[in-house]
Each structure stands twice: as structure tokens, then as C-alpha cells.
Structure 1
Amino acid sequence: MGYIGQGQDMIRAELAQRVFAIDALADAGPAHRIAAELEAVRALAQAHGLSPAVTVIHALDSALSRGEHGAIVHGWLAILADAVGSGACDAQSDALFAAACQVRLGG
């Protein structure tokens, strides 16, 4: 079990680094580049069962497609960083992060 936990820790650390790098792009990077980077994060998160992160990425993709950028995207990325850092992989966590996205969307 320790090996699996350590592997998940390494995946979460890699995802966190990628989210940090995307955050650095959020002000100057074109939306299509941010979306491509998010797709790589989504694929890795999904492959490792980090479904709350996938949930947030879907909401973030929608925000980008609506034309959101800059500071607004930083807020979405903060939710994504929380989802990655939580290490949660269950339906309740999915629902909590989906609710956070709904609040962000409305707010």
C-alpha cells in the first residue's frame, strides 16, 4: 500500500507543478495553449483516478471557451490546485469540487 500512496504523491506533485506552470501562462499565454496544457493535466489526472481534478478541468475548459482570462483564470487554477492537492478520489469529493466550480461560475 505504501508504494501506491507514494506513487499517487508523485503524480499529485507532478500535477501541482503543471498547474503552477499553467498559472504562469494565464496572464500572457493564448487560451489554446492553456487549454492544451490543461488537457495534459486532465489526461494524467484521469489516468490516476483523481476525478475531482478532472471535474475542475472541465469547468475551467468551459471558462476558457467563454473567453475568461487573466485573474479569473487564476481563481479557477486555485480550485484546480486544491483538487490536485486534496488527493481525494471519491464521489463526495467530486461533488464538493463541482459545487466550488458552480460557486465560482456564479460569482
Structure 2
Amino acid sequence: MGLGNEALLMVRAGLCDRIDGIAAGLNHLSSARLYDHVDAVRRVALDHGFLPLAQLSRGLEAALAAGERGVMVLGYLDLMRDAAACERLDAQASEAYLAAISVRLAG
């Protein structure tokens, strides 16, 4: 049994708030704290079936673990916010978001 519309909207809003908070505090967060915040978003996304957001979060976690920071993180956070607000939660939407981050990072 899935979440009702109101509950789903509250989860979406909470995820967007978390992502916005990460972006706002990016310059003040240690790498470990940044990773923890992204991991928290990923866990909530997985718990509620937000597959595109969970996969983007996983990608950002991998980049952070490899020592990446800076503009790349903002690109991920921007797409993560879009994914949190997106109505589609299926595998095809995940593929589209992963392709978008690949293009963004390559450009």
C-alpha cells in the first residue's frame, strides 16, 4: 500500500527542503557531514520509492567518496531537487536523470 497524495507531497517537500539545506550550507560542511546529509536523503528516497532521487544520491555519494567537491556537487543537488519534485518514480525516469547528470558533468 503506497502513500496517499498528501503524505507523498509532504515527503517530496521534506526532501526538497533537505536538498536546499545541503546546497545552502555547502561551503560550511565538511566532506563527512556532506556525505551524511546526502546519505540521509538517499535513505528517505529509498524508503518512499523515489528511485530517481535515490540513484542520483548514490552517484553523488560515490563522487564525494572519491574526493570530489565544488561545482559538481551543485549540479547533482540541482538534479536531485528536480527528481524529488518529479511525478515519475520509475526506472526510465532514473535512466533519464542519470543521463542528464552525465551530460552535465561532461559539459
When the two structures are superposed, what TM-score results if normalisation uses the length of structure 1? 0.89
1:38 aligns with 2:38: yes
SS in 2 for 1:13: helix
SS in 2 for 1:68: coil
1:71 aligns with 2:71: yes
* Cα distance, 1:41 vs structure 2: 0.8
The runs of at least 4 aligned residues of structure 1 exceeding 4 Å deviation read none
Structure 2 portions without partners, runs of 5+:
none
The alignment-based identity, stated in percent, is: 33
Distance 1:100 1:18 in 2: 21
* Cα distance, 1:28 vs structure 2: 2.2
* Cα distance, 1:103 vs structure 2: 1.6
Q: Write the letter of the residue equivalent to 1:27.
A: N
* Cα distance, 1:73 vs structure 2: 1.1
Deviations 1:64-107 (A, max 9, x none): 12322233211110011011011321111011011112223323
Show the counterpart of 1:100.
100
Say whether the 8 Å CA contact 2:51–2:89 is kept in structure 1: yes
Count of paired positions: 105
Aligned pairs for 1:1-107 (under 5 A) are 4-107=4-107
Say whether the 8 Å CA contact 2:72–2:105 is kept in structure 1: no
